[in-house]
Chains A and B, each alone.
Chain A
Amino acid sequence: MTAAALPHDSASAHEEHHTSLPVNNRKLAIWTFIGSECMFFASLITTFVIYRDSHATGPGPKDVLGVPLVTSGTAVLLFSSFFVVMALNGAQQGNRKKLLTWLSLTVLCGLFFAGMQVYEFTHFVRDGMGYTTNLFATSFFTLTGFHGTHVAIGTLWLATLLKDAWKGRIPPEKSLNLEIAALYWHFVDVVWIIIFPVVYLMSLGHK
């Protein structure tokens, strides 16, 4: 699209940055960011797998990790991905009630998951597993801690969008704002889809 074809007088002209690619710049940017995050989490997950059995001092995976609580957290995170696509669906249809309802549920799920992780970490520390206790603990806290930070950032991001939606600032033509946040949120979910079996189930089943 040539510069002359852009609408200079509308407010949307300041938001839409077109390129020669048939995709919005911001959407391309979030996908590029997600790509870089793939490499980041790949190295963290691999480091954990390598150091999983390095617990000569302090507790190991079978002493501290448990399945029930984390399974509930996993289910909540999976449902939150469903909730946020429903919210996006509502935003694209201009259905404000649907948008507010599903987005509120997504934020609640994010808060639940973050709370679950804080609770889990607190228990681990009480059980004698601090950040520097052994290599297993360090790699575990680094991996799940970074993921938890991503969840917290995503929850905050979605909460700000919920505030915007509440004030009616996400009409259908601005649903891309929510779509970009939703892509980030889905990525956080996808990372947990890998972390849950690799860190919890495989570590507990590992001999």
Chain B
Amino acid sequence: MSDTVAVVHDSHDIPHATGSKYVQIACILFVLTALEVLLYEVCFGHLSGSSFSASLAPHFVSVLLILSAMKFWFVAMFYMHLKFDIKILSWLFGFSLMIASVVILALFVLFTYNRTLWWWNGAWH
């Protein structure tokens, strides 16, 4: 735990990460963003056309979502201090994300149902 402590915040003496840890996270976030753009370029951009691109393209969305989820996790845990703060904040955020997921699912189901019901001829993607 050499990267934690040193800094306390508000009145509850909860340790946060130090500057060097923040720099490490910034580098990771930058690399992940670069990977996202590289993935797009390999699959559909200037670097596409090879057999590797063709094999990677079907997994484009899932790989992109995994990379985004990783970035999301790093920012929430370290920059938003969820890793160091009291657990109730993590639960609060997690609960909100769960409801947000339900909202996403509900909207997709609703629109799929409506399209199927009213637009028989329209293939919906």
B-contacting residues of A (Cβ < 8 Å)? 16, 21-24, 27-28, 31-32, 34-36, 38-39, 41-43, 45-47, 50, 53, 67, 71, 74-75, 78-79, 81-82, 84-86, 88-89, 92-93, 175-176, 179, 182-183, 186-187, 189-190, 193-194, 196-198, 201-202, 204-206
Pick the contact of B79 from A36, A176, A186 — CB < 8 Å? A186
A46 touches B103 (CB 8 A): yes
Report the minimum CB–CB distance from A195 to chain B (whole Å): 10
Q: Which residues of A contact B7 (CB under 8 A)?
A: 89, 92-93
A47 touches B107 (CB 8 A): yes
Q: How many cross-chain pairs have Cβ atoms below 8 Å apart between A and B?
A: 148
- Complexed CA–CA distance, A89 and B68 (Å): 26
Pick the contact of A186 from B18, B68, B75, B99 — CB < 8 Å? B75
Interface secondary structure of B, over-half rule? helix
Pick the contact of A31 from B10, B64, B92 — CB < 8 Å? B92
Number of interface residues of B (CB under 8 A): 55
3 nearest A-B pairs in the assembled complex, by CB-CB distance: A35-B96, A42-B100, A82-B26
Interface secondary structure of A, over-half rule? helix
Q: Which residues of B contact A93 (CB under 8 A)?
A: 7
Q: Which residues of B contact A38 (CB under 8 A)?
A: 93, 96-97, 99-100
B75 touches A190 (CB 8 A): yes
- Complexed CA–CA distance, A79 and B71 (Å): 13
- Complexed CA–CA distance, A45 and B95 (Å): 19
A-B contact pairs, 27 of them (CB 8 A): A27-B89, A31-B92, A34-B93, A34-B96, A35-B93, A35-B96, A36-B96, A38-B96, A39-B96, A42-B100, A43-B104, A46-B107, A71-B37, A78-B29, A81-B26, A81-B79, A82-B22, A82-B25, A86-B19, A89-B7, A175-B9, A176-B9, A186-B76, A189-B75, A193-B71, A197-B65, A205-B57
